[in-house]
Structure 1
Amino acid sequence: MPATTSRAVIVAAARTAIGTARKGTLANIEAAELAKPVVSATIERSGLAPEDFDDLILAEVMQGGGDIARYVAVDLGLTQLPGMALNRQCASSLTAIAVGAGQIAAGMSRALLAGGTESLSTAPIARKRKPFTTGKEPGDYADPWFSYSHPPTTDAPALDMSITVAHNCAVRFGISRRAQDEWALRSHQRAIKAIDAGSFADEIVPITVPQPDGGMKTFAEDEHPRRDTTMEVLAGLKVLHPRSTGSQ
């Protein structure tokens, strides 16, 4: 280990616009395809040459097989990058950046690419072999399912982990449903205001997306913030956690 540590700094950043899952503009674009233009743009913005980078650390939660970081690197011609895929659920992308910063601080790397990519819309759905079957017959497999993010327990049913965490926080700190709806409405309003002001334009990498009619669409604006939502609309939404009374 070196006697002194190096200071890690972020010299460039980029992202795609955020799409709505399953029915938005990006619904048919796989995670690796979302990552490639962002990696390329980040390299260009950094002022460094592609060969100056030692690795690509890429987070993905809904993983479907091999090392997505290595896949992206090879597809971009960055074959010198070994690639590291990382998963820490909702904290995955920031963890990738932290791991990269730690490697630089420890003197293990000079320059790294780190971030995350996700496509819930195209995430693979597994089929698990039933016990005591050979897996050779159609009936040997259970219905398709998303892998659980944690074991089912009394306190945390087999739901998305973030839903359970949010519910527990609301109960512990006495956060009312109305307070949450007010926060959500304010968040939508601020996001729309920032979009209209062009506040995200410099960080977003426009991507071209094929359309059903054979045409192409340039996608460069977050599409999920809702311009027409109101407190009344939010109050009418169903709660997600099975033990919620609706007041949290």
Structure 2
Amino acid sequence: MVADAFICDAVRTPVGRYGGALSSVRADDLAAIPLAALMQRNPSVDWTAVDDVILGCANQAGEDNRNVARMAVLLSGLPVEVPGTTVNRLCGSGLDALGLAARSIRAGDCELMIAGGVESMSRAPFVMPKADAAFSRANAVYDTTIGWRFVNAKLKKAFGIDSMPETADNVAADFGVSRADQDAFALRSQQRWAAAQAANRFADEMAPVSVPQKKGDPVIVDRDEHPRPDVTLEQLARLKGVNGLDLSVTAGNASGVNDGSAALIVASETAAKANGLTPRARVVAMAAAGVAPRIMGIGPVPAVRKVLQRAGLELGQMDVIELNEPLRRRGSRCCASSVFPTMPRR
């Protein structure tokens, strides 16, 4: 019999802007913050019973190298016997960590897990490859913040190396997503964040970050830094396309480059009861799907179809559909796609 996996608590730091309030915080320190917060919020838990800590991290080229999850475990105050491992599915890394934790519990291998993710794009380093030949003066420097580096020539020839904004423009062109629709989707997201912030909806999940200063007291960061709640549709419409004036990806409808971390407690029913935890949600199914790299942002469509089939559910049974929005034409296209034909756009 398959065991159930429950999410029992969830904590995150504020999301910092690139070069902003969290830019001086190392990725391993940033990852330790929600882990420590979970411990403080759940004093009844036997933390020596945690089977594993799985964190997603997409960069892993700087201070987040060599298993940032294990570093975060040690920095957080969790028992040294608790292991940690880091996974990478790029933008889906943190969600993949949750899936792996839930599957471990459902398989009966584990009882109590922590899953989450961390990224410090502000602190992503520049990297250089070693020369192909001895004494060569040829060199290249890559900014690891975002995008391709150390490209395989065979992969480039077969699939191209479109950047994320370019893949988003490809999706917009291939599936007929207008600039107006993308901007409207972006505006709605900003408005929803503003409404949630005004209603204090984030307070229970937020772990404030104390950022030391060169002089004076530390600065306490307890609010998301990236959203622009006062932006208007007219302002969005005036922005130029990143990839060309006639193209639709802009600084206003593309995602930001951010810093932050999050962690969740995932437990079996037995572990939840033994540790005084209250289940918030049951993880029913997970799925991933591959698509052509040039339109990688359409991936949620086949993934949703796959996970519904895997769970034995239908779209009409869903009360809420929550989409990540790395580039808005992906999110807006997924909402408008035939995979979501009957769902209200809430």
TM-score (norm 1): 0.86
How far the C-alpha of 1:197 sits from its partner, in A, is 1.6
CA distance in 2, matches of 1:108, 1:241: 47
Work out whether residues 208 and 217 of structure 1, in 8 Å CA contact, stay in contact via their aligned partners in 2. Answer: yes
Hey, what does 2:141 align to over in structure 1?
Answer: 143
Which AA in structure 2 matches 1:90? C
Higher strand share: 2
SS in structure 1 of the partner of residue 231 of structure 2: coil
Q: Which has the higher contact order (CA 8 A, sep 6+)?
A: 2
CA distance in 2, matches of 1:212, 1:154: 50
How far the C-alpha of 1:180 sits from its partner, in A, is 0.7
- Decide which moves more: 201-210 or 122-131: 122-131
How many aligned residue pairs are there? Answer: 238
Alignment of 1:1-248 (within 5 A): 4-22=1-19, 24-46=20-42, 47-64=44-61, 65-77=65-77, 78-134=79-135, 139=137, 141-146=139-144, 148=148, 151-152=155-156, 156-160=160-164, 163-241=165-243, 245-246=246-247
Which AA in structure 1 matches 2:60? Q
Measured at CA, do residues 61 and 233 of structure 1 come closer, stay the same or move farther in structure 2, by a change above 3 Å? same
CA distance in 2, matches of 1:16, 1:92: 17
Task: Identify unmatched segments of 5+ residues in structure 2.
Answer: 250-346
How far the C-alpha of 1:52 sits from its partner, in A, is 1.7
CA distance in 2, matches of 1:186, 1:212: 39
CA distance in 1, matches of 2:139, 2:248: 40
Measured at CA, do residues 19 and 54 of structure 1 come closer, stay the same or move farther in structure 2, by a change above 3 Å? same
Work out whether residues 127 and 142 of structure 1, in 8 Å CA contact, stay in contact via their aligned partners in 2. Answer: yes
| Percent identity (aligned) | 34
- Cα RMSD (Å): 2.3
CA distance in 2, matches of 1:59, 1:182: 31
Task: Identify unmatched segments of 5+ residues in structure 1.
Answer: none
Which AA in structure 2 matches 1:107? G
How far the C-alpha of 1:231 sits from its partner, in A, is 1.7
- CA deviation digits over 1:32-86, x for unaligned, max 9? 1111110111234344121120110011001022011111112234311221110
